[in-house]
Amino acid sequence: MPLTPLAARYDQFILDLDGCVWVGGEPTPGAVEALEELRAAGKQVAFATNNAFDSGEDLVAQLWKIGVRASLSDVVTVGGAMQHMLAETHTGRTAFVIGTSSMFRHVGDAGLKVLNATDLASRAEVVVVAGTTDLRYDDLRNAIQAVLRGADLLATARDPTYPQPDGPWPGTGSILAAVEYGSGRTAEIVGKPEPQLFLTALDRLGDGATLVVGDRIGSDLAAASAAGLDAALVFSDGTDRAELDSFEPQPVGVAETLAELLTRR
């Protein structure tokens, strides 16, 4: 399977995971073979994800499981980006975290004291919101009270949903909306559509013509544009096709799947 003319034009690729490489851990049709073709043609590949559920190690293991070779340096996670940002700007402070155990670790590793299990949770100086499937009313109460008392509000992303085999599941943005609505404050976002994830990936890949591929216009295409990179769009359940007409800059390529975008059959 040769590469498409579009794929041949670029030296390196930054790929979104959910809805692009896989959906719910199952590869999108032909994705594994297409990635093999890219690498056989000498192209560099990095993965950049707003997924805050899993650690970088988890994602590397999931990539190997579907047959894609990857190392920790190939995967840029929003949890890693959050840790980096907190370490630079908020270390030594107290935090309340909505997220998975992976996000709790990142916040702790950045040098913040996590107050979740204490009586002081609603008095934290920083509130971090990330995706989780284990949300409780008390989490929203503590987060909203802390922000109303003046805590900084940071979130990994604003994605309303993420694709799963049975349809979209509520993402970080759905949880964040409750905290923002209750507190009347707007969070600072670390993941896409901010450019930082792609800039970190670029840092690891090095110089070369770079193409970003993702399935979300408001996050992947917007972040690529903010980072000054070309982007292509593939479609998943969560792609808002109507949004594409009015989006600027238009993607350099559009295809139903990652494999269709990269390889000719």
- Could you say whether residue 159 binds Mg ion (CB under 5 A)? no
Question: CA-to-CA distance for 167 and 77, rounded, in angstroms?
Answer: 23
Q: What radius of gyration, in Å, describes the C-alpha atoms of the chain?
A: 18
Task: Give min distance, CB of 246 to Mg ion, in A.
Answer: 20
- Which helix (DSSP H) or strand (DSSP E) does residue 212 occupy? strand 210-214
Nearest in space to 106 (alpha carbons), one of 70, 123, 81: 81
Parallel, antiparallel or unpaired: strands 22-23 and 26-27 = antiparallel
Select from 12-20, 58-66, 73-81, 227-235 the region that touches Mg ion (CB under 5 A): 12-20
- Could you say whether residue 125 binds Mg ion (CB under 5 A)? no
Nearer to Mg ion, 104 or 162 (CB): 162
How many residues of this chain bind Mg ion (CB under 5 A)?
4
Select from 82-90, 135-143, 215-223, 249-257 the region that touches Mg ion (CB under 5 A): 215-223
Nearest in space to 81 (alpha carbons), one of 192, 3, 177, 168: 192
Binding mask 174-213 for Mg ion (x = CB under 5 A): ----------------------------------------
Select from 19-27, 85-93, 197-205, 255-263 the region that touches Mg ion (CB under 5 A): 19-27
- Could you say whether residue 230 binds Mg ion (CB under 5 A)? no
- Could you say whether residue 139 binds Mg ion (CB under 5 A)? no
Select from 13-21, 61-69, 123-131, 135-143 the region that touches Mg ion (CB under 5 A): 13-21
- Could you say whether residue 215 binds Mg ion (CB under 5 A)? yes
- Could you say whether residue 19 binds Mg ion (CB under 5 A)? yes
Q: Where do the H-state alpha helices sit in 132-237?
A: 137-148, 172-183, 196-205, 222-226
Nearer to Mg ion, 168 or 182 (CB): 168
**Three-state DSSP state, 126:** strand
Helix 172-183 and helix 137-148, axial crossing angle in degrees, nearest 10 = 50
**Three-state DSSP state, 84:** helix
- Could you say whether residue 16 binds Mg ion (CB under 5 A)? yes
Question: CA-to-CA distance for 15 and 220, rounded, in angstroms?
Answer: 9
Residues engaged in binding Mg ion (CB under 5 A): 16, 18-19, 215
